[in-house]
Amino acid sequence: MALLFRKRNVVLIEVLISLLSFLLLSEFHKLNLYIFTVRALTYLNLYFLMSEYVDYHTVLNILKEKGVPLVVGLAYFPLFNEIVSQIMFNAKARKIGLKPSKLLLPLVVQMVKVAEDLYVAYTIKLYGEYRGRLNLRPTSLDLLFILLGVITFVLSVAFPLNLPQYHILI
C-alpha cells in the first residue's frame, strides 16, 4: 500500500473496506474469515501496481535509486505484454502453433532488445553514486596486485626456468 500512498482515494477506500469487514465479521463471530478480506485487498493492490495507478515518484522516494529497476519494470510491463501478444499473433498467422519451443527464441530476442535499450538509457542518465569526477587513484588493493605482478615479472626475468627442451623431429 505504501507504493499507492499518493492515490489517497484508493488507500481510503481500502482502509474503509478493511475496517467495515473487521467490524461485521467480529459482530457475527466469523473473524476467521477476515484473512480473505486481506487477501482480496492484496490482490487488488497487486493489480493496481501492475496498472497505471502506481505513483512512480513515491516508489523512487521510498526506495531511492534501488527503486529505479522496479519503476522501469512496472512501466514496461504493458510493453512486455504487447510483445508476447504480437509474437503469439504472428505464430498463429504463420500456422506455427503455440509451441513454447517455437515461441521462445523470438521472445528472448525481443526482450534482449528492450533490455539493451533500457541499459543504455540507464547508463546515459548515470543513476547511482556518480559525482561528476572520476577518481583514478589506485586503491591499496590495486597497489598490492600491481606490486605482486611486478615481483612476479622480475623473478621470472631474473631466474628463468630451465625446462628441458624437446625437439620434435618430423
User: Per-residue pLDDT averaged across 113-135, rounded?
Assistant: 69
User: Per-residue pLDDT averaged across 164-169, rounded?
Assistant: 65
Number of domains into which the chain is organized: 2
- 78 and 123 share one domain: yes
pLDDT in tens, 77-117: 777 778 888 888 888 888 877 777 778 888 888 888 887 88
Domain range for 70? 64-128
pLDDT of residue 169: 63
User: Per-residue pLDDT averaged across 139-164, rounded?
Assistant: 83
Of 113, 57, 47, the C-alpha closest to 80 is 113
Q: Could you give the C-alpha distances from 75 to 101, 126, 164, in angstroms and in order?
A: 28, 19, 65
- 47 and 69 share one domain: no
- 119 and 72 share one domain: yes
C-alpha cell of residue 72: 522501469
pLDDT confidence of 133, banded at 50, 70, 90?
low
Between 82 and 132, residue with greater pLDDT: 82
- The answer to whether the predicted template modeling score (pTM) of the entire model surpasses 0.85 is no
- 90 and 123 share one domain: yes
Of 1, 44, 41, 33, the C-alpha closest to 17 is 41
Between 139 and 131, residue with greater pLDDT: 139
pLDDT of residue 147: 92
